[in-house]
Amino acid sequence: PEIDLPGHTKAVCQARPDLCVRSGEMISPAGSQTMEVLHLVMQEVAELFPDSYIHLGGDEVNVNIWEKDPATLKWMGQHQMNGKYIYAFFVKTAHEVAIKLGKNPVGWSEIWAEFGTSLDQRSVLHKWRHEDSIADIVSNGYHALWSDYNSWYLDILDSTWDKMYMSEPCEGLDEEQCKLVIGGGGEMWGETADTSDILQTVWPRLGAIGERLWSRRAHTTSPPGYRMAQLRCLLNRRGIAAAPVLNRVARSAPPGPGACDAQ
**What is the H or E stretch that residue 230 is in?**
helix 225-237
Whether 60 is catalytic: yes
Chain centroid, CA 44 distance in Å: 21
Given the residues 36, 60, 96, 171, the one annotated as active site: 60
Q: How far apart are CA 226 and CA 217, in angstroms?
A: 20
Q: How far apart are CA 63 and CA 83, in angstroms?
A: 5
Residue 39: phi, psi to the nearest 5?
-60, -45
Question: Parallel, antiparallel, or unpaired for β 143-146 and 181-184?
Answer: parallel
> Nearest-5° angle of CA 163, CA 108, CA 150?
20
Instruction: Write out the catalytic residue numbers.
Output: 60
